Amino acid sequence: MDQQSDSLFSFSERARQLTSSAIREILKVTERPEIISFAGGLPAPEGFPVQAVQAAYDRVLSTAGRNALQYGPTEGYAPLRAWVAEHLSAQGAQVSPAQVLILSGSQQGLDLLGKVLIDPGSKVLVETPSYLGALQSFSLYQPRFKAVPSDEGGLLPQALTPELAADARFLYALPNFQNPTGRTLDLARRHALVQAAARLGLPLVEDDPYGELRYAGEPLPGLLALAGQAGANVVRLGSFSKVLSPGLRLGYLCAAPALIDKLVQAKQATDLHTASLTQMAVYEIVKDGFLAEHMPRVRERYRLQCEYMLQALSEHFPAQASWTVPQGGMFIWVTLPAHIDTTRLLAQAIERGVAFVPGAPFYAGGQAAHNTLRLSFVTVPQEKIRAGVQVLGELIAAYR
Amino acid sequence: MDQQSDSLFSFSERARQLTSSAIREILKVTERPEIISFAGGLPAPEGFPVQAVQAAYDRVLSTAGRNALQYGPTEGYAPLRAWVAEHLSAQGAQVSPAQVLILSGSQQGLDLLGKVLIDPGSKVLVETPSYLGALQSFSLYQPRFKAVPSDEGGLLPQALTPELAADARFLYALPNFQNPTGRTLDLARRHALVQAAARLGLPLVEDDPYGELRYAGEPLPGLLALAGQAGANVVRLGSFSKVLSPGLRLGYLCAAPALIDKLVQAKQATDLHTASLTQMAVYEIVKDGFLAEHMPRVRERYRLQCEYMLQALSEHFPAQASWTVPQGGMFIWVTLPAHIDTTRLLAQAIERGVAFVPGAPFYAGGQAAHNTLRLSFVTVPQEKIRAGVQVLGELIAAYR
């Protein structure tokens, strides 16, 4: 059945746009164990609370097994929705459980938002660069991306002119330790952003998978927490992937009831609901304050890994290169001299056994910077960070 | 933020079509414990293998906890894909693991198929009536449904004329104990269907969530198993919801590699991948033949429940009513005298403490039969089956 399979189906227009990217193909080799890969976006498995997860599944299955294995409501498990509402309220937002939708990973929130907010040709505002997974998710609904100008401090609220915001369905932003840059939006810009959004009637989608991974600087209020005062309309996405583990596929979304209604209907058609067992087990883990004990250990690990890579970069990268110094999260963003194309550099690096992600695919709705790259430091042993960065430094110095 | 929330967003065209159905609103009352509900589509929780699930999660987390909690490949956990391929091959289909995509419940397969195969206005062929969840899933991609004529034996392969099939993206069919009718397509029609599909170049989507729940008659080969010989192109959806439990949200899809490629890319944008822990635990349960021991017990329970409802129907329903006698699965479909509108009947039944699902919403792309209804018998205790059916019988007799 595979011989003529290309002609077996009439694919939708959106599916015809899906193509396996060249970079994805190159990066497949990074799964080989001999490769030092800074390309991944995986959290460090040493930080996964395996025993707590095991104990929670055990308790749930022992005490409420049949409920945990039955269909559940599309909105999510009520105690977990209440926990999320309380968790967000403790951070300064005013959230009721009815505004919370439990997701099969926060990536699903991006898909559902695309489904209910994007028509072909709809304008969607994005940071430059932005999270590739979100660009891919939204792309299936065929929006017209427009880049919001930014600098090393992240997006520039004053660049949100009425013209840029006109008819935009929303602005997608990651204020904390952004993927891919590691940048954090400072407090003044956060205030200015929600005020601009309120003035322009522009919904903000705040994606915050890394917010709990802060290991430097002071915690800042999220856009949702600032929204109430400013009268802005903020949709907030959160995830258990970086605080507990990504293999559970559990996230959540908080939004105005009118949007939740539509998203619930879309989610019902998409996957009925998120696994009851997973929701009940995670609730069992977090309900008594486990994260307050657990997260400091995770943050400390990430801080050390980050510090080690920053040290290696300053030793081995040429003076003409610059990079971000993240206050949390998993990524460092490097800007090389303008003549260096990091997609070409990647091919050379792979030959030397080192991988990273070139920056260009993270740009949408504007000009891409081909001299940029993303480094992830969290899963690579420290001696390999040093060796890998040294190789990259040599290749950059020799690049022509 | 909720006061003016209706005007806070510009919804997509597909989202504006999403409306909370009147029936869904009525059926919300069926969650009240005093209601005898034949409306549900829930499997019987007494059949859930809670201990086996608990032991499997324990083993996986003890032996491979970090892997189980890490991100995994979008295609699915390789040993589980291989198990599915072997399981389908044992039923007469020739399937390689590369043709298997693991899903977050088989409902997700419907959404992904809609995503990659349906453009606004695309023709999609459906049985009459058909599974409501599939109609809702596909509807988000704005197809034009066309009904394939059917009789009490299910869809009529000879009705698949070149005109009806022309430009159709696929035909969606449930050959075994269909939801909502409980009908099973006989062997002759299965052969005729795959032959017609091959001749017409029409892809078939075979949805088989209930196939393992056969408690009467001989097992019949699925459309995928018959496809190879006929040269037909069959996409098969399977689920662990009715063999293990729905709360796990785990299913799979088997298709030609060209379609799998597109679906994998669409799934990556949709939810990255299905939970690693769930996949590994389910593989741990099924790998050594657990289902062969477990399913006979589940089938026997369903058989008894079905028999009990059939008995009650023949005692309490008037002679002018007719109903299907399912060979498996969870549903009986009742056809009442033509003057009875089952949506009106439902309102009367709810007042008397009994619920069911009216038949009309299950029809798409053709005329709906307003005198039909669906009864689910699996989760209702036997004495309540009798009492509930008696009430319905009285209301039907008194209907005017």
Nearest CA to B273 out of B65, B86, B85, B80 is that of B80
Q: Strands, DSSP E only, in chain B?
A: 36-37, 100-103, 123-126, 144-147, 150-151, 154-155, 168-173, 204-207, 234-239, 251-254, 322-323, 331-335, 354-355, 357-358, 372-376
Residue A386 has pLDDT above 70, yes or no: yes
DSSP reduced 3-state for A109: helix
ipTM of the complex: 0.94
Band of residue B84 on the pLDDT scale cut at 50, 70, 90: very high
Closest CA to B19 of A111, A272, A264, A252: A264
Contact check, Cβ <8 Å, B233/A1: yes
According to the model, what pLDDT value does residue B35 have? Answer: 92
- Which class is A5-49+292-398 in CATH? alpha beta
Contact B148, B127 (CB under 8 A): yes
Domain A50-290 CATH (choose: 2.60.40.10, 3.30.465.10, 3.40.640.10, 3.30.70.890): 3.40.640.10
User: Residue ranges of the alpha helices (H) in A71-186?
Assistant: 78-90, 106-117, 132-139, 162-165
pLDDT attached to residue A44? 87
The alpha-carbon gap from B313 to the nearest alpha carbon of chain A, in Å, equals 28
- Contact list in B for residue A140 (CB cut-off 8 A) is 115, 266, 269
pLDDT tens for each residue of B100-119: 999 999 999 999 999 999 99
Q: Do A9 and B247 touch (CB under 8 A)?
A: no
Nearest CB neighbour to B269, from listed A8, A111, A272: A111
Which pair of structure tokens corresponds to residue A180? Answer: 């891919």
Question: Chain B residues with CB inside 8 Å of A1's CB?
Answer: 227-228, 233, 256
The per-residue pLDDT for B23 is 65
Best residue of B51, B53, B271 to probe chain A, by most A CBs closer than 10 Å = B271
pLDDT band, very low/low/confident/very high, at B1 (cuts 50, 70, 90): very low
Verify whether the Cβ–Cβ distance B1 to A256 is below 8 Å: yes
Chain B hits for A116, Cβ within 8 Å: 11-12, 14-15, 18
Nearest neighbour of B15 by CB, restricted to A48, A116, A249 = A116
Mean pLDDT of B63-68: 96
* Domain B5-48+292-398 annotated CATH 3.30.565.10: no
Q: Are A375 and A331 in contact (CB under 8 A)?
A: yes
Q: What is the pLDDT of residue A21?
A: 64
pLDDT for residue B3 is more than 60:
no
State how far the Cα of A33 lies from the Cα of A39, in Å rounded to an integer. Answer: 13
pLDDT for residue A33 = 82
Yes or no, beta carbons of A203 and B9 under 8 Å apart: yes
Q: Which of A72, A14, A19, A22 is nearest to A357 (CA)?
A: A22
CA distance A30 to chain B (A): 14
Residue-level pLDDT at B21: 64
pLDDT per residue as tens digits for the range A34-64: 899 999 888 889 889 999 999 999 999 999 9
Query: Distance of CA A341 to CAs A369, A371, A383, A400, Å?
Result: 9, 5, 27, 10
Q: How confident is the model at residue A4 (pLDDT cuts 50, 70, 90)?
A: very low
* pLDDT band (50, 70, 90) for residue A7: confident
The answer to whether residue A141 scores a pLDDT higher than 80 is yes
Query: A-chain residues within 8 Å CB-CB of B99?
Result: 2
Contact check, Cβ <8 Å, A71/B268: no
Local structure of B258: helix, strand or coil: helix
* In the predicted structure, residue B5 carries a pLDDT above the cut 60: no
Separation between Cα atoms, residue B201 and residue B195, nearest integer Å: 10
Residue B123's pLDDT band, with cuts at 50, 70 and 90, is very high
- Write the pLDDT tens digit of every residue in B170-191: 999 999 999 999 999 999 999 9
Using an 8 Å Cβ cutoff, are A227 and A93 in contact?
Answer: yes
Contacts of B278 in chain A (CB under 8 A): 275, 277-278
- Concatenated DSSP letters for B276-303? HHHHHHHHHHHTTTHHHHHHHHHHHHHH
What is the rounded distance in angstroms from the CA atom of residue B80 to the CA atom of residue B62?
Answer: 19
**C-alpha R_g of chain B:** 21
Could you read off the pLDDT of B292-342 as tens digits, one per residue? 999 999 999 999 999 999 999 999 999 999 999 999 999 999 999 999 999
CA distances from A13 to A17, A195, B6, B28 (A): 7, 38, 31, 38
Residue A20 banded pLDDT, cuts 50, 70, 90: low
Q: How many CB atoms lie within 10 A of CB A113?
A: 31
Q: Which long-range contacts (CB under 8 A, 24 or more apart) does A184-189 make?
A: A184/A154, A184/A217, A184/A220, A184/A326, A184/A327, A184/A328, A185/A153, A185/A154, A185/A155, A185/A220, A186/A153, A186/A154, A186/A220, A187/A220, A187/A221, A189/A153, A189/A154, A189/A155, A189/A156, A189/A157
Task: Compare CB distances from A104 to B136, B257, B271 and report the shortest one's residue.
Answer: B271
The alpha-carbon radius of gyration of chain A (Å, integer) is 21
Residue B32 neighbours by CB distance under 10 Å: 11
* Residue B20, pLDDT above cutoff 90: no
Start and end residues for every CATH 3.40.640.10 domain found in chain A: 50-290
What is the pLDDT at residue A366? 87
pLDDT value of residue B229: 86
* pLDDT for the residue numbered B228: 86
d(CA A43, CA A36): 16
> How far is residue A258's CA from residue B7's CA, in Å, rounded to a whole number?
9
Which residues of B are less than 8 Å from A117 in CB distance?
9-12, 15
Range(s) of chain A covered by CATH 3.90.1150.10: 5-49+292-398
pLDDT tens, position by position, B196-217? 999 999 999 999 999 999 999 9
Q: Of A8, A99, A271, which is closest to B108 when you measure between CB atoms? A: A271
Q: Which of B159, B158, B219, B149 has its CA nearest to residue B184?
A: B219
Contact assessment for residue A374 and residue A356, using Cβ atoms and an 8 Å cutoff: yes
> Per-residue pLDDT tens for B223-240?
999 998 889 999 999 999
Percent of chain A scoring above 70 in pLDDT: 96
Mean pLDDT to the nearest integer, A358-380: 94
The chain B residue lying nearest A228, using CA atoms, is B1
Q: Which one-letter amino acid corresponds to residue A122?
A: S
For position B17, what pLDDT does the model report? 85
Question: A51 to chain B: nearest residue by CA?
Answer: B61
What φ, ψ does residue B219 adopt, rounded to 5°? -60, 140
Mutation target vs A (from B244, B277, B278, B284; most A CBs, 10 A cutoff): B277
Nearest CB partner across the interface for A269, out of B140, B246, B257:
B140
According to the model, what pLDDT value does residue A3 have?
A: 39
**pTM for this structure?**
0.95
A387 pLDDT more than 60: yes
Per-residue confidence band for A124, with pLDDT thresholds at 50, 70 and 90:
very high
Tell me the pLDDT band of A17, cut-offs 50, 70 and 90: confident
Q: Is residue B4 very low, low, confident or very high in pLDDT (cuts 50, 70, 90)?
A: very low
Q: What is the pLDDT of residue B44?
A: 87
> Cβ contact (<8 Å) for A8 and B203?
yes
DSSP A328: B
All residues of chain B having their beta carbon less than 8 Å from the beta carbon of residue A41 are 71
- Using one digit for the tens of pLDDT, what is the confidence trace for B27-55? 677 778 889 999 988 888 988 999 999 99
pLDDT at residue B41, rounded to an integer: 82
Return the number of CB contacts < 8 Å for A and B.
Answer: 273
For residue A137, how far is the Cα from the chain centroid? 12
CB nearest to A119's CB, from B13, B41, B69: B13
What pLDDT is recorded for position B373?
Answer: 97
Predicted pLDDT of residue B2: 39
CA distance B155 to B162: 16
